[in-house]
Amino acid sequence: MDKSVIYATRELPGLVEWAKHNGQFQVEFNKEDRNLTYDELNEVAKASDALITVLSDNIDKSFLENNQHLQGISNYAVGFNNIDMDEAKRLGIPIGNTPDVLTEATAETALLLQLMMARKIKRAMSAVRDGNWTAWEPTVFNGYDLQESTVGIIGFGRIGQSFAQKMWQLYKCNIVIWPRESAKRAECNFPFRVVEKEEFFQLVDVVSMHCPKTPETENLINSEFIAKMKKPFFFINTARGDCHNENDLLLGLREEKVLGVGLDVTNPEPMSRKSPLLKEENCVVFPHIGSATKKTREQMTLMCLENILASLKRSPLPYSVYDPFKV
Ligand code: DGY
């Protein structure tokens, strides 16, 4: 009997090792240090039974239509906005993802961005690197205190809750949530308040995005949003770059309506090295490393493989976004 072909669109930690112990499957992966083009993606899909995709692979309607033979796709991410879910459902192609495992790493990344901005770390490190650190300075590099500040969370799922908890535990921050819908299933052991938009604008010192990209959240943080905020605020995005407008954030920084911009996700992604934001002293940009710890990434590989094995057996996926086999 022919072996089922599982194709991963990038090399994944632990994949080769797993393949060595699971010789009943033919495991292939993209060996180049770059993403596949859309045409290449179609080509490899043609020769595969199941795919492990990454968030930059465009799994759109026509890709799915052209590859209806696929028995399953598992996205190597918790987010799945790169996949046309309506079409996957229409065609009955199971779709998996990797929830939970990356919650702590991503929330920690948001915290790191917040601390770097609050303590003006980019400016301080540049001074050392550029030879501008000439003496101990009582007046330069002084940052902001986060104690009891108000943190506004947009998207109160697992990652939003974990970041909020860290800010509450470390700095006794007041946690406010908007919009209401995302707080529906929250079970937290720290205090938080769900507020309406107007109160959010009034109170918040830190805006942290933890929502998926949807028509409601796309371009949500723009000049209009910034203008409505009553106090200068820090902005953190570890969710999806499509949720903010980078020109508007730049203007906000220059007009001192925004105290700092901390991005792990950019718009577009990757960010151009010519982006003027990179020259701003209080803008910190990471290359989408929210889930990038060794253990997390290895676990994500295993979760994707578990999803794929289930879909090849036509049985319920352990981590599914859409599962036609679920009873
Ligand atoms: C996700 O999982 O959606 C992150 O953006 C990548 O780890």
Q: Which atom of ligand 1 is nearest to the CA of 97?
A: 2
Q: Which atom of ligand 1 is nearest to the CA of 77?
A: 2
Question: pLDDT digit string (tens) for 3-16?
Answer: 999 999 999 999 99
Which pLDDT score, from 0 to 100, does residue 327 have?
78
**Domains in the chain: boundaries:** 4-99+293-322, 103-285
Question: b or e along 144-163 (b: 16 or more beta carbons within 10 Å of the residue's beta carbon)?
Answer: bebeebbbbbbbbbbbbbbb
Which pLDDT score, from 0 to 100, does residue 97 have?
98
Question: pLDDT digit string (tens) for 191-250?
Answer: 999 999 999 999 999 999 999 999 999 999 999 999 999 999 999 999 999 999 999 999
Q: Which two tokens stand for residue 157?
A: 């799922």
Rounded CA gap, 111 and 213, in Å?
21
Which pLDDT score, from 0 to 100, does residue 186 have?
83
Q: Which atom of ligand 1 is nearest to the CA of 265?
A: 5
CATH superfamily, domain at 4-99+293-322: NAD(P)-binding Rossmann-like Domain (3.40.50.720)
Q: Which atom of ligand 1 is nearest to the CA of 238?
A: 5
103-285 — its CATH code? Answer: 3.40.50.720
Question: b or e along 216-242 (b: 16 or more beta carbons within 10 Å of the residue's beta carbon)?
Answer: ebeebbbeebbeebeebbbbbbbbbbb
CA dihedral (38, 42, 80, 83) positive or negative:
positive
- Relative orientation angle of helices 158-171 and 103-118, to the nearest 10 degrees: 50
Would you say the CATH fold of 103-285 matches that of 4-99+293-322? yes
Q: Decide whether any atom of ligand 1 lies within 6 Å of the 267 Cβ.
A: no
Q: Decide whether any atom of ligand 1 lies within 6 Å of the 96 Cβ.
A: no
* DSSP 8-state secondary structure symbol assigned to residue 212: P
Residue 258 β-bridge partners:
233
Q: Decide whether any atom of ligand 1 lies within 6 Å of the 55 Cβ.
A: yes
Reduced to 3 states, what is the DSSP secondary structure of residue 284? strand
99 to 4, 125, 227: CA distances (angstroms): 25, 35, 34
User: What distance, in Å, lies between the first and last C-alpha atoms of the chain?
Assistant: 29
What does DSSP say about strands 50-53 and 72-75: parallel, antiparallel, or unpaired?
Answer: parallel
Reduced to 3 states, what is the DSSP secondary structure of residue 301? helix
Rounded CA gap, 222 and 263, in Å?
15
The preferred substitution site among 106, 238, 286 for testing ligand 1, maximizing ligand atoms within 8 Å of CB, is 106
Which pLDDT score, from 0 to 100, does residue 104 have?
98
Amino acid at 106: T
Q: Decide whether any atom of ligand 1 lies within 6 Å of the 78 Cβ.
A: yes
- Whole-model pTM? 0.96
The preferred substitution site among 9, 10, 53, 55 for testing ligand 1, maximizing ligand atoms within 8 Å of CB, is 55
Between the CA of 36 and the centroid of ligand 1 the distance, in Å, is 18
**DSSP H helical segments within the chain, as ranges?**
15-21, 38-46, 61-66, 85-91, 103-118, 121-129, 158-171, 197-203, 223-228, 246-254, 294-312
CB 25 within 8 A of CB 52: no
**CA 133 to mean position of chain CA atoms:** 35
Between the CA of 292 and the centroid of ligand 1 the distance, in Å, is 9
Which pLDDT score, from 0 to 100, does residue 62 have?
98
By alpha-carbon position, which residue is closest to atom 2 of ligand 1?
77
* DSSP per-residue letters across 109-138: HHHHHHHHHHTTHHHHHHHHHTT---S--S
Rounded CA gap, 292 and 299, in Å?
11
By alpha-carbon position, which residue is closest to atom 4 of ligand 1?
77
The preferred substitution site among 52, 217, 263, 291 for testing ligand 1, maximizing ligand atoms within 8 Å of CB, is 291
Which pLDDT score, from 0 to 100, does residue 185 have?
77
For 53, list phi and psi in degrees, rounded to 5.
-110, 160
CB 243 within 8 A of CB 214: no
What is the chain's pLDDT, residue by residue, as a tens digit (327 residues)? 799 999 999 999 999 999 999 999 999 999 999 999 999 999 999 999 999 999 999 999 999 999 999 999 999 999 999 999 999 999 999 999 999 999 999 999 999 999 999 999 999 999 999 999 999 999 999 999 999 999 999 999 999 999 999 999 999 999 999 999 888 878 899 999 999 999 999 999 999 999 999 999 999 999 999 999 999 999 999 999 999 999 999 999 999 999 999 999 999 999 999 999 999 999 999 999 999 999 999 999 999 999 999 999 999 999 999 999 987
Q: Which atom of ligand 1 is nearest to the CA of 98?
A: 2
Active site residues per annotation: 288
Which pLDDT score, from 0 to 100, does residue 197 have?
96
Between the CA of 239 and the centroid of ligand 1 the distance, in Å, is 8
By alpha-carbon position, which residue is closest to atom 1 of ligand 1?
77
